[in-house]
Structure 1
Amino acid sequence: MLRLVCKRSVMAAAITAMYVTPATVMAQGAALEEVIVTAEKREQSLQDVPISIVALNSEALATQGIDELDDLSTNIPNLYVNNFNNDPVAVRLFIRGIGQNDVQLTQDPSVALYLDGVYIGTTFGAGFEGVDLERIEVLRGPQGTLYGRNATGGAVNLITRRANPEQFEFHQTFTAGNLDLFKSRTFINVPLGDRFAAKVGYIMTDRDGYVENTGVGEDFGTEDRESAVIDLHWDATDTLVFDYRYETAEIADAGRMEQSLIAGQEQELPPGVPDLSFFTTPGTVSDDRQDKVESLWQNGPTDLDINAHTLHVDWEWGDVFTLRSITAQRDMESSVQAIVLPDWRVNLIPGGGSVSTMINDIEFEQFSQEFQLLGSWDNVELVTGLYYYDDEGTHDSSGSATLGLPGPEFDITFTDNTSMAVFAQATWSPEALDSRWHFTLGGRYSDDEREAFRRNTRSADFAESAPDGASYKRDFSNFNPSLTVAWDVSDDANVYAKVVSGYKSGGTSTRSANADLFRAGFDEEDVLSYELGLKADFFSHRLRFNGALFYMDIDGSQTSIQTGSTAGERDFLPVDGNVIQGVEMELTAAISENLIGSFNYGYLDTSVGEDFVDSAAGVFYLTDRYSYAPENSVSAALDYRRDLANGTVHARLGFSYQDETVSSVNELDLTDQDDRSIWDASLGWSGISLGSLAGEASVMLWGKNLTDEEYVIVSAASWGFVGSNYTGTFGDPRTYGVTLTWDY
């Protein structure tokens, strides 16, 4: 922890600055609002929660233009979100440098994603904006006790608006922008008596791609999305409440352009296809972001269907306890197909066909049941519970034989996973210490069973070693304790120290180079984290500072490494002794009655504990940097609001910066991604009264990436029989538009 000591001066300097530069803040009467979160399964002020957490309410989400998970990266330091290669529906989340570099059904994410308290078992299909969000909470650092399952890096909570029996509500939003963007959001809330309410919603998005495809297939980056929700709320008694939610979504996005980042490389063929002269025509030779490309492969849309049911039951048991049940079922189907040179026939031998057809079909269904018992009496707060989860999945990456050889090739994997856990966390605030000291002890015991079966004829090594397929089955169990000590220095400031552990079960790889590696799989990943934090409001709540120092030891880090002769053959190899340490801080100031400024900073210092991995797949040399873990990340904003005779005018200017990152810990896969600076802005007029019978309206002009920064969000290097290549996917170019809203 010695290297982290020097970073404490950053936090100290920020605290000192509060006392020497707040004149404009002290002169005004404005105060920052209290933020309520449910990070510890009960409602609390964000300032009282001993966790490094960022919460964004619905107003902040709208003003900042956040309607997808990957929008969060520009606003929350030490959070990195990107898509898996060019797949528009597979999202990768990294918090404090810990994340899932390769999205597979046989490996769990390292950042837990929750929707209304329900764990989402795979990030395939997790990046769409099909929910009516009330709040997003990002919890940084291991959350092993209350969240447990695969929260070694942290957790992201998505909280939606429930149906409301108190009043009728209608909400309609239309958004139009460049790239022929059109988006509509409709929500209707209808009370049905004093105790029952129903809410229905429909959301659709249509947008052209930002890379024109003059060849075959669709433009790259197009969006075509629809989703609908039904919420039912029933106050059965004064102490018994039911909330049911059904959600369905259909997505037909085309993937982003995954282009070569080496000047002189052809761009017509998908990465990994041999760059042979008789397959290509003179093409793009620039390594800049492409606006137009003549693709020789038919880029079909990714068809995604989601259906999800959730039932919440809350029963207040006397004045002390609340018993909560969360039951959820979620099904997902995803299909994407690409055909190389669809109009060509290659007949090297009779029975030949297209150059190559690539299919990637995924089916996934999950069920979970959680019981929570929440108690509050005297100076004790208690959360305890039981958790059950199971999922089944199929990943079919079959296709026709390459170069027109006869017969289909197939690579199909079946998965079946079960997880059970028991957990408890208690906080004691002794009266003998004026209830200003808070001691929290928690623990979670997890038991995981993982099974998989794979048959693969596309890989000669795999087919030869397991002509009838290969099976994998392993059990994992772990106990994760946590200890937190917090002290209320004053009514407006507190400090905390915590030690917490995190665990992610082992598994296997759907891309293993051979059957032996598939059968062996990989072990669990363990994280032990130490954290010091400060949360404080100053000058009558006009200035707020939240900061944290952390140090994490990671053993068994599940590192994705290319182990075969092609880029698609990868395994997860364990790396021990990794260390991640850093700083997080959020500073918010009510500069005047109408102007609020914010500055957020994250620092990461990552080191890999081993120089190489010596495994059954070979020896692989490692870098000393974690992937997708920028050393410095910054976001800052100015928000201005002024009340008018009719409504409120508001303007926002935001800036975010991320240092350069690397894409992999493996030297052979290593690619650099340059730093990036993004400017966003919005200007709006809200709360415009349309009369007592017509509700209110608002209008907002917005722009993202105003300087049209060219930046890579994900990159990859591949090597094999056709040599090496370096590819990447760029983020969206400049986008802008107008949003009209009517509320009644």
Structure 2
Amino acid sequence: MNRLVKTVLLAGAAWGALSASAVAQEAAAEPQASTVDDIVVTARRREESLKDVPVAVSAFSSAQLEQKGAADITELTRTAPSLTLQAARGSNSTLISFIRGVGQQDPLWGFDPGVGLYMDDVYVARPQAAVLDIFDIQRIEILRGPQGTLYGRNTIGGAIKYVTKRIDADEPEGQIRASYGSFNQRDIVASAELPFNEKFGISAAVARYLRDGYGTNLNTGNEHYNKDVTAARMSAEWTPTDNLFFRLAGDIVKDDSNARHGHRELAPSPASVYDTNAGAGDRNSVTAKGLSLTGEWNVNDWLTLKSVSAYRDGQTRGNIDFDNLPQPILDIPARYDDDQFSQEFQAVLNGDRWSGVAGVYYLDATASGAFDTVLGLYNANTALSLPPGTFPVGLTTLTAGSVDTKSYAVFGDFSYDVTDALSVSVGARWTHDEKTGTVFRQQYAGIRSPSFGNAGAVLFGAPRTNYTRTREFEKFTPRVSVSYKLNPDLTTYVSWGQGFKSGGFDMRGDAVAYPDTVKGYDPETVETWEIGLKGSLFDNRLNFATAIYDSSYEDQQITTQYPSGSTVASVVDNVGSSSIRGWEFEGRLRVSDNLTVNGMLSYTDAKFDQFLAYIPTGPLNASCPTQPGCFVDVSNQRDFQNTPEWTGSIGATYTHWMANGSNLAFIPSASYRGDYQLFETASPVLDQGAFWMFDASLVWTSSDDRLTVGVHGKNLSDEEYRVGGYVFPGALFGDSLIGYYGAPRTVTATVGLKF
């Protein structure tokens, strides 16, 4: 209760001051020359002003992101409250996402993310190739809290909407942007819109990103933390009548950047955090592509029917070196494959006093893969007391499998204006998921298994895991909100809702070390209360949003990997329950016609109420039986991962207009991120302390808005900060404590031309 009181007091101070100011300013404010532009969003599947939406949502327009030189969506971590977006360990383009402490760090096939990523209206089921570069977009929206009543695939922690541009030109037009920067960065992005007539047009965009590595693999001489990405999109839009619209869109991303092996934090350790001595191999390849068909029919003034059909697939081939040494002490060659088909039908309704969306959703997805866990220093002669020469030094565990998912859902969310000021929204979702998991684990004597190139590997014992099982999960999740307009520019709201993420199967599960792995794990749920205030003050010079929330997180799914004899075992279980409470504020103030200031601040108090950890070698205390394998509540020894208590940012845009009509904008910013753990269990060597990041951009724009020239500096203080890691102590595993780091200081010059 004390934590909730603390949170309410923090929010109440800002909320009360803003509300009082609004009442005082409503009559006294004088007209001003300029206002802060508001953004139109589709957070509730219909177009609304951002300041009127009774949902905690941040929105970033393409112009804002381009002016700041934002490269990909992970940069939003610096400017959106309660958000963590990072590239996964060992990868440049696999996304790890958390909102308000809810997310999924493990990108292995078969795991559902806690934060839903949508490219336009298409749910992206897998995190591979999901670190989307920012180009040819209209805006990006970050929705916080459960969103299942509004979105086709349930999103327990929140949703990220990546909205691409639609054709809005009357005649052919295009643009090109070229960049050169630190570490020999060479980027080029080109896009074009070709309307053939009023009814039909096509658009296309292509991007090529190249950059030398921030560091070097000192063992192989290859680049480390480099970038080699090609991305393209194309769409065709047809409007046969005023009431019909069709859009066929395709996209592809190919990432041939080298594998990221991280930095060994214990000796022997390279001097630079971006260098490595890894010997597992530097080849890495990720490809993802998709095709979608969207149809809209405006039946009448109050009803629009919409269909979204989509297919996506992806392939990943790579290597992760857990020990970061030349020898194959703990190496992981891996491959992932996935495909998905989704179909969504929506009915969007808008009346005089009511509005809403109802829909049905279907997903048929398959995710599969395989990887070797190579223990190169494992000596079968001594460890197993076998006759000399029976097996070579080295033991490999092959893990392979797949998860087939069929998901069905019905959802709806409707609002009714009881009065001109008071509005009530009611939503609900019914979800039915069917998952079939196949898991296989087999050990081989030798370095790598036959699946990864070692035809001479010898079977070592019976399979440790070998099963196929189907489970079904079903849940009804409601949502209710009430909003009230204090005046035309200020809205307060209170909402309550539930989120749901289905259970599944641990693709790493070792049935010898943990026999119950064959049962799979159960769903998790989040129940969230939220009170918010948003709108405009000072004659629309200030746009802001603030909210407090209280979430109850039940049956949380957490992956724990630990050494087990001659291999690495894994447990995915529903560890118990937790409480997440917090406060968020973000705003944008027009100080003068030349100066705009923006900022955000968020506080998150996330605590485990119960954490039932699997102990493979009991007993540890009176609650653990004498037989090996039990669960013990260690909630007082665990903390949330990737969830700093405080995050914040402040920035400004100062624009100077020149006599010829052109302008020069200076955009400095500073962001703060409090200390956080990389895993639930503390690791003093790896856990990241609090730090500040400083960025600045200088952008000149011609009078006709056709030519821009900019210089963008990122991480100007050259802060070294970890975004991921691995913890496998012990001589057998090479004392593997590995850190992965964010980008160092970079400066990039960009030229953009519209024609």
TM-score (normalizing by structure 1): 0.89
Q: Kindly indicate whether residue 379 of structure 2 is the aligned counterpart of residue 369 of structure 1.
A: no
Residue pair 1:85, 1:715 contacting (<8 A) in 2 also: yes
1:315-362 Cα deviation digits (max 9, x unpaired): 000111000000100010010136899999x9xxxxxxx888642111
Q: Which residue of 2 aligns with 1:305?
A: 287
In 1, distance between residues paired with 2:375 and 2:11? Answer: 58
Q: In the superposition, relative to structure 1, how do residues 341 and 384 fare at CA in structure 2: closer, same or farther (>3 Å)?
A: closer
In 1, distance between residues paired with 2:486 and 2:475? Answer: 36
Q: Which residue of 1 aligns with 2:424?
A: 439
> Residue 67 of structure 1: CA displacement?
2.6
Alignment map for 1:249-260 (pairs within 5 Å): 249-260=253-264
Residue pair 1:26, 1:542 contacting (<8 A) in 2 also: no
In 2, distance between residues paired with 1:643 and 1:342? Answer: 52
Which of 722, 726, 729 aligns to 2:732? It is 722
Which of 312, 318, 327 aligns to 1:330? It is 312
> Residue 628 of structure 1: CA displacement?
0.8
Q: After alignment, is 713-722 or 179-188 more displaced? A: 713-722
Residue 73 of structure 1 aligns to a residue in which SS?
helix
1:156-210 Cα deviation digits (max 9, x unpaired): 0000002335221111000100100000000011111221111111100000111
In 2, distance between residues paired with 1:463 and 1:172? Answer: 57
Q: Kindly indicate whether residue 714 of structure 2 is the aligned counterpart of residue 708 of structure 1.
A: no
Q: After alignment, is 671-680 or 53-62 more displaced? A: 671-680
In 2, distance between residues paired with 1:562 and 1:61? Answer: 38
1:557-611 Cα deviation digits (max 9, x unpaired): 0011125428853222212230000000012211111101112000000110125
Give the residue type in structure 2 aligned to 1:421.
A
Q: Which residue of 2 aligns with 1:472?
A: 469
Residue pair 2:309, 2:343 contacting (<8 A) in 1 also: yes
1:90-117 Cα deviation digits (max 9, x unpaired): 2110000111021222220000110011
> Residue 25 of structure 1: CA displacement?
9.9
Q: In the superposition, relative to structure 1, how do residues 655 and 548 fare at CA in structure 2: closer, same or farther (>3 Å)?
A: same
Q: Which residue of 1 aligns with 2:642?
A: 628
> Residue 217 of structure 1: CA displacement?
5.3
Q: Which residue of 1 aligns with 2:107?
A: 103
Q: In the superposition, relative to structure 1, how do residues 291 and 325 fare at CA in structure 2: closer, same or farther (>3 Å)?
A: closer
Which of 496, 501, 511 aligns to 2:498? It is 501
Give the residue type in structure 2 aligned to 1:683.
L
Residue pair 1:25, 1:589 contacting (<8 A) in 2 also: no
Q: Which residue of 1 aligns with 2:586?
A: 586
Residue pair 1:545, 1:586 contacting (<8 A) in 2 also: yes
In 1, distance between residues paired with 2:551 and 2:490? Answer: 25
Q: In the superposition, relative to structure 1, how do residues 739 and 342 fare at CA in structure 2: closer, same or farther (>3 Å)?
A: closer
Q: Which residue of 1 aligns with 2:400?
A: 412
In 2, distance between residues paired with 1:95 and 1:467? Answer: 36
Q: After alignment, is 82-91 or 535-544 more displaced? A: 82-91
Q: Which residue of 2 aligns with 1:535?
A: 534
Give the residue type in structure 2 aligned to 1:319.
D
Q: Which residue of 2 aligns with 1:684?
A: 699
Q: In the superposition, relative to structure 1, how do residues 662 and 463 fare at CA in structure 2: closer, same or farther (>3 Å)?
A: farther
Give the residue type in structure 2 aligned to 1:553.
S
Q: In the superposition, relative to structure 1, how do residues 374 and 6 fare at CA in structure 2: closer, same or farther (>3 Å)?
A: same
Residue 72 of structure 1 aligns to a residue in which SS?
helix
Q: Kindly indicate whether residue 656 of structure 2 is the aligned counterpart of residue 657 of structure 1.
A: no
Give the residue type in structure 2 aligned to 1:558.
Q
Q: Which residue of 2 aligns with 1:320?
A: 302
Q: In the superposition, relative to structure 1, how do residues 49 and 651 fare at CA in structure 2: closer, same or farther (>3 Å)?
A: same
Alignment map for 1:60-459 (pairs within 5 Å): 60-129=64-133, 131-147=135-151, 149-164=153-168, 166-216=170-220, 218-262=222-266, 265-267=267-269, 284=270, 289-290=272-273, 292-293=275-276, 295-337=277-319, 358-398=332-372, 402=376, 410-430=398-418, 433=419, 435-458=420-443
Q: In the superposition, relative to structure 1, how do residues 399 and 598 fare at CA in structure 2: closer, same or farther (>3 Å)?
A: closer
Give the residue type in structure 1 aligned to 2:248.
Y
Give the residue type in structure 1 aligned to 2:318.
V
1:97-142 Cα deviation digits (max 9, x unpaired): 1110212222200001100111000111101317521100000111
- The total of aligned residue pairs comes to 705
In 2, distance between residues paired with 1:614 and 1:338? Answer: 26
Give unpaired runs (5+ residues) of structure 2. Answer: 378-391, 446-458, 617-628
Q: In the superposition, relative to structure 1, how do residues 456 and 716 fare at CA in structure 2: closer, same or farther (>3 Å)?
A: same
> Residue 242 of structure 1: CA displacement?
0.4
Give the residue type in structure 2 aligned to 1:677.
W
Give the residue type in structure 2 aligned to 1:239.
N
Residue 6 of structure 1 aligns to a residue in which SS?
helix
In 1, distance between residues paired with 2:2 and 2:143? Answer: 25
Residue 9 of structure 2 aligns to a residue in which SS?
helix
In 1, distance between residues paired with 2:49 and 2:291? Answer: 30
Q: After alignment, is 522-531 or 668-677 more displaced? A: 668-677
In 2, distance between residues paired with 1:603 and 1:396? Answer: 40
Residue 469 of structure 1 aligns to a residue in which SS?
strand
Give the residue type in structure 1 aligned to 2:363.
Y
Q: Which residue of 2 aligns with 1:485?
A: 482
1:228-248 Cα deviation digits (max 9, x unpaired): 211101101110000111111
> Residue 464 of structure 1: CA displacement?
5.6
In 2, distance between residues paired with 1:180 and 1:636? Answer: 30
Give the residue type in structure 1 aligned to 2:607.
S
Residue 219 of structure 2 aligns to a residue in which SS?
coil
Residue pair 2:294, 2:307 contacting (<8 A) in 1 also: yes
> Residue 304 of structure 1: CA displacement?
1.0
Residue 163 of structure 1 aligns to a residue in which SS?
coil
> Residue 478 of structure 1: CA displacement?
0.3
Q: Which residue of 1 aligns with 2:610?
A: 610
Residue 146 of structure 2 aligns to a residue in which SS?
coil
Residue pair 2:38, 2:543 contacting (<8 A) in 1 also: no
Q: In the superposition, relative to structure 1, how do residues 389 and 114 fare at CA in structure 2: closer, same or farther (>3 Å)?
A: same
1:291-324 Cα deviation digits (max 9, x unpaired): 545x251541320111210111000001110000
Residue 722 of structure 1 aligns to a residue in which SS?
helix
Give unpaired runs (5+ residues) of structure 1. Answer: 268-283, 347-353, 690-694
In 1, distance between residues paired with 2:685 and 2:291? Answer: 41
Q: Which residue of 1 aligns with 2:10?
A: 10
Q: In the superposition, relative to structure 1, how do residues 185 and 564 fare at CA in structure 2: closer, same or farther (>3 Å)?
A: same
In 2, distance between residues paired with 1:83 and 1:361? Answer: 18
Give the residue type in structure 1 aligned to 2:657.
D
Which of 627, 646, 658 aligns to 2:661? It is 646
In 1, distance between residues paired with 2:146 and 2:490? Answer: 24
Q: Which residue of 1 aligns with 2:384?
A: none
Give the residue type in structure 1 aligned to 2:5.
V
In 2, distance between residues paired with 1:668 and 1:722? Answer: 19
In 2, distance between residues paired with 1:343 and 1:636? Answer: 41
Give the residue type in structure 2 aligned to 1:625.
D
Give the residue type in structure 2 aligned to 1:554.
Y
Residue 65 of structure 2 aligns to a residue in which SS?
helix
Give the residue type in structure 1 aligned to 2:519.
A
Residue 737 of structure 1 aligns to a residue in which SS?
strand
Give the residue type in structure 2 aligned to 1:455.
F
TM-score (normalizing by structure 2): 0.88
Q: After alignment, is 476-485 or 398-407 more displaced? A: 398-407
Residue pair 1:513, 1:563 contacting (<8 A) in 2 also: no
> Residue 495 of structure 1: CA displacement?
0.5
